[in-house]
Amino acid sequence: MQTIAKMEQVQAKAFSLRSYLETLESLYPEEIVRVSKTVRPAEYEVTAILKHLEDRSRFPVVFFENPLNLKGKPSPVPLVSNLYATRERCALALGTDPADCQLGLSLEYARRVEEPVPPVAIQRSEAPVKEVVKTGDEVDLAEYPIVRHHEMDPAPYVNMTPVMKDPDGGFYNSAFLRNMYKGPRKLGIHMSPRHNWQIHRKYEERGRPTPTAIIVSHHPAFYLGCLNVAPFGLDDYAVIGGIMGQPLRLTPSETLGEEFLVPADADFIIEGFVVPKAREVEAPFGEFTGYYGPQRLRPVIEVTAVTHRKDAIFQHTFVGHRDNWVMGGLPKEGAVYNVIRGVIPTVKSVHFALSGSCRFNCYISIDKKVEGEPKQAALAALGAVDFIKNVIVVDSDINVYNEQEVMFAVATRVQADRDIEFIKNVKGNTLDPSQLDDITTTKMLVDATRPVNRAFPERVRVPQEVLDRLRLEDYIPAKKLEKLPVFSDSVRSV
Amino acid sequence: MARIFWVTCPKCNKRFYCHSEELLHKKIDLLCPYCGIYFPQEQSPKIQE
């Protein structure tokens, strides 16, 4: 009850990054660590600390109080990392119960996507993100703690969400895109052929620069909202408002005024234009797949302004790791579940597993009634989300959040020649290293369910009534139990 | 992912990779991600397709 009351208190206020961190720190202080020692984000020290934690299976939010900037001097703003590395913290961001962070959270997200909340505009003078405004030559991105993530990255990268505005429809679109530091007022930008790419292409075909604002820091619900899979043409600011459960407050940008609005409660925003027809080498960059995307020719952004709160916090995601994976899968699961439910009402759960960077591998459980339902479910999932490459459909006795169980079903219920289908030449993902070209891939459908049209063996089990009757502590002392080693491969959760 | 080619930096001798269709045999200087120099790919001691 105390948790819910506190969450309601927070939700009554405008969402901001600090409101989230205050809630997290008061309710779950064990979820956040503060590092007061100086770190050099541009020299991999931030990601080295995150990797050390990962190697110990620890995924806290890490607040770096004293990062250096790109000039090797103390940054005027601290840095926060790893906000999205657990589903529990994503649930907290959406104001839902962290204990219900599997399918319940995914379905709540999907429900909110269907109920967009129009944004509201406020004056610049009321907008916290305008407390510090730098334009033109006053801007120097090297003053900030931009993170260089992996060894082959050529530079530090801002890897949060550029927002663009469609020149025809007037709607805004946001997406996580990588932005390479190229100079005090210059960034490179990589866009896959998705929504922001479409918008940029329209401006470029007309010979016009594409206005953009990179929202570097905001409440995590804002960023989870950015990851919606709503159709192109819906205003992301309204969808994000739906996800947040309150209207997103907007304010005029420094660059284009009321023609281009930006989130008023952000901590830090970079404004600029994507230059038409300009291409420069960019990357390699360690991507969500866990591989580097190759160096290629990509557009550049001329930065026109930086605005931030006086006590701003700089944010990044640990791309190619759990922080970046969890946030990518969760917003898709509910949408896929709802599409499948339209054709297979007995669908039980949908999960994008960590093993596929929470994008490529989709596990679906159904309570199968007739043959053919598993492949129907798989086809529905593939139609709903283009990121999905491999679909495994299992029976409802298999927990799709436990990859070991999913692979048990594959091992014991699949005959490859009968139960696996391939669909060739389907749109894939430019960053999938197994693809031989930029666009197309082969999708795989695996039916790992038991047959219903013939007798099939039963799984072993110890009688439930005996399990219920027998308390382990009555046979092995509690202290001894606590000291027994736990083997991670026996409880690997995905 | 598109086809890539590995290239060796003429200054630091470290290897990285690039997008073949966009950069292989093109008159575009490549950027070594390790030492930060731009160089024409003809100067690379080794290119592996």
CB contact under 8 A, B1 and A433: yes
Minimum mean pLDDT among A341-350, A407-416, A432-441: which range? Answer: A432-441
What backbone phi and psi angles, to 5 degrees, belong to A134? -125, 130
pLDDT-based confidence at A12, cuts 50/70/90?
low
- Return the number of other C-beta atoms located less than 10 Å from residue A98's C-beta: 20
**Interface mutation vs chain B, best among A281, A285, A288, A357, most B CBs within 10 Å:** A281
A96 half-sphere exposure, CB direction, 13 A CA radius: 22
A346: distance to nearest CA of chain B, Å?
Answer: 36
B39: distance to nearest CA of chain A, Å?
Answer: 11
The domain in which residue B10 lies consists of: 4-48
State yes or no: pLDDT of A238 exceeds 90.
yes
CA A20-A22-A27 angle, 5° bins: 95
- Which residues, listed in sequence order, are joined to residue A174 by a DSSP beta bridge? A163
The mean per-residue pLDDT over the stretch A449-461 comes to 96
B45: distance to nearest CA of chain A, Å?
Answer: 18
Tell me the pLDDT tens digit for each residue of A372-398: 999 999 999 999 999 999 999 999 999
- Mean model confidence pLDDT for chain B: 96
CB contact under 8 A, B22 and A291: no
A296: distance to nearest CA of chain B, Å?
Answer: 5
**Interface mutation vs chain A, best among B1, B15, B28, most A CBs within 10 Å:** B1
- Here the CATH number for the domain that contains residue B34 is 2.30.30
Partners of residue B21 in chain A, C-beta under 8 Å: 438
pTM tops 0.90: yes
Closest residue in B to A148 (Cα) is B33
- Mean model confidence pLDDT for chain A: 95
pLDDT-based confidence at A430, cuts 50/70/90?
confident
The mean per-residue pLDDT over the stretch A74-83 comes to 97
Q: Which of A291, A297, A434 is closest, CB to CB, to B22?
A: A297
Q: Which two tokens stand for residue A237?
A: 């600011």
Q: In sequence order, what are the residues at sequence separation of 6 or more whose Cβ sits closer than 8 angstroms to the Cβ of residue A464? A: none
A430: distance to nearest CA of chain B, Å?
Answer: 5
The mean per-residue pLDDT over the stretch A86-97 comes to 96
Residue A9 confidence (pLDDT) = 52
CB contact under 8 A, B18 and A296: yes
Q: Which of A154, A294, A436 is closest, CB to CB, to B19?
A: A294
Give the count of domains, chain B. Answer: 1
Residue A3 confidence (pLDDT) = 52
Distance CA A19, CA A35 (A): 20
CB contact under 8 A, A154 and B31: yes
Partners of residue A291 in chain B, C-beta under 8 Å: 1
The residue type of B39 is F
Residue B9 confidence (pLDDT) = 98
CB contact under 8 A, A435 and B1: yes
> ipTM score here?
0.98
CB contact under 8 A, B31 and A436: no
Instruction: List, as own/partner pairs, every contact residues A402-406 make where C-beta atoms lie below 8 angstroms and the sequence separation is at least 24, other chains included.
Output: A402/A492, A402/A493, A402/A494, A403/A353, A403/A354, A403/A355, A403/A363, A403/A492, A403/A494, A404/A489, A404/A492, A406/A353, A406/A363, A406/A448, A406/A494
State yes or no: pLDDT of A13 exceeds 80.
no
Distance CA A364, CA A393 (A): 5
Residue A6 confidence (pLDDT) = 53
CB contact under 8 A, A297 and B3: no
Residue A49 confidence (pLDDT) = 98
